[in-house]
Amino acid sequence: MMASTYNAKDEDGHITVAGPGGGTLRSRKPENTAFKQQRLPAWQPILTAGTVLPAFFVIGLIFIPIGIGLYVTSNNIKEFEIDYTGVDMSSPCFNCSQNFSWNSTRPCTCSIPFYLDQPYESNVFMYYGLSNFYQNHRRYVKSRDDSQLNGDSEALTKPSKECEPYAFHDNKPIAPCGAIANSMFNDSLELFYNDPNGTKVQIHLMKTGIAWWTDKHVKFRNPGGNNPNLTVAFQGTTKPVNWRKPVYELDSDQENDGFINEDFIVWMRTAALPTFRKLYRIIQKKKDMVLTLPRGNYTLEVVYNYPVRSFEGRKRMILSTISWMGGKNPFLGIAYITVGSVCFFLGVVLLIIHHKYGNRNNSADISN
């Protein structure tokens, strides 16, 4: 009786295992079940050249058309990109980029002319792009308080310590707190079409619909519930250090103000890579016009607020159309074509191998 109790004695905290076969198991015939006898019915596939061959051809035949489709789609997408950082002396924004500080009161504006050699049909999406900006830096990524952004009144006045050192300013809680919010992109971009007849037509830029629906309606909430008066709701807080105006003055539209301002939400979704673009505005296709942006001369007017020279960053403005597969990205199509062709090629190689070696093996086996 002692023997069985000692069996289980562990030596040094291993998850050791005394092994089966204690007293009760003895002298009993093991059950004859398929599982216990390791005889469960099973499918026993083997990867031979013969069985893999069809798979390779099928993959090849499926991937190549997909790839071609993707490639063509990607090529049909029109994209225009312009760097407005103002590094060159000749650049119109050179001056703005030189005398910059976060707190300069007088806004610096510059306008960049460009020419679209292709007309843009359907909706056009306007992005701003930043380079060498490590929005994915660890301390940057975590420097936010999601409870505060979700309208939690307690978090509004007591921001999480993750926001440090952008949690308090002058002993007042910062709303929205943290480094991400503090460094929000604040250039404003406007687009003008230079009509061949000399008039400058401002193009209507839509500033809603640029953030995820769930972000705008669930994840980000203004404090104070449905209180329309955001100024009251944000009372007792202060604006982020680098901001010019408090969060409740981001937009005049009640539905796009405070934490649910879409520019803000877009910025708060940290980018994966140091070179990234973020959706800025949408140029919707007008019903009566066939072309959203006709071919011609345009001017980009920039209110230059955002400093990037300190980290040798670049700022870009991108205009792009979108297909069902997103923006211009030839990589996916090329990758599909390549993989498809490789599979097809391998299929041929395997076919040869199968003919050369396969029969030999099989005959050897049968003779066994």
Residue list 203-222, contact with another protein (CB under 8 A): 209-212, 214-215, 218-219
Which of 14, 106, 245, 287 forms a contact with another protein (CB under 8 A)? 14
**145 lies in the site for another protein, by CB under 8 A:** yes
**364 lies in the site for another protein, by CB under 8 A:** yes
* Gap between the Cα atoms of 261 and 247, Å rounded: 9
Strand partners, 125: 282, 320
Nearer to another protein, 89 or 272 (CB): 272
SS3 183: coil
CB of 45 to another protein, least distance (A): 7
**24 lies in the site for another protein, by CB under 8 A:** no
**89 lies in the site for another protein, by CB under 8 A:** no
CB of 230 to another protein, least distance (A): 22
x/- binding map, residues 326-355, to another protein, per CB under 8 A? xxxx-xx--xx--x--xx--x---x--xx-
SS3 22: coil
Taking each helix axis from N to C end, the angle separating 330-353 and 49-76, rounded to the nearest 10 degrees, works out to 160
CB of 147 to another protein, least distance (A): 7
| Cis before 165? omega within 30 | yes
SS3 252: coil
Show contacts with another protein in window 157-196 (CB under 8 A). 160, 162, 165, 179, 183
Task: Phi first, then psi: give them for residue 320, nearest 5 degrees.
Answer: -150, 145
Could you tell me the two tokens for 366?
Answer: 């049968």
Which of 29, 106, 245, 287 forms a contact with another protein (CB under 8 A)? 29
Pseudo-torsion of CA 134, 137, 140, 143, nearest 10°?
Answer: 150
CA-based torsion, 131, 133, 135, 138: positive or negative: positive
**140 lies in the site for another protein, by CB under 8 A:** yes
Show contacts with another protein in window 242-301 (CB under 8 A). 266, 269-279, 282
**In which region does residue 167 sit, left (phi positive, over 0), alpha (psi from -120 to 50) or beta (all else)?**
alpha
Nearer to another protein, 92 or 277 (CB): 277
* Gap between the Cα atoms of 187 and 189, Å rounded: 6
CB of 20 to another protein, least distance (A): 5
CB of 89 to another protein, least distance (A): 23
CB of 266 to another protein, least distance (A): 7
Show contacts with another protein in window 91-130 (CB under 8 A). 123, 125, 127, 129
Could you tell me the two tokens for 33?
Answer: 């079940």
Show contacts with another protein in window 32-61 (CB under 8 A). 32, 36-49, 52, 59
CB of 30 to another protein, least distance (A): 4
Binding range to another protein, per CB under 8 A, among 18-26, 110-118, 168-176, 196-204: 18-26
End-to-end CA distance of the chain: 53
Could you tell me the two tokens for 20?
Answer: 């089966």
CB of 194 to another protein, least distance (A): 25
Residues 118, 290: contact at Cβ < 8 Å?
no
Nearer to another protein, 43 or 106 (CB): 43
Angle at 49 between CA 46 and CA 52, to 5 degrees: 70
Which of 91, 95, 111, 150 forms a contact with another protein (CB under 8 A)? 150
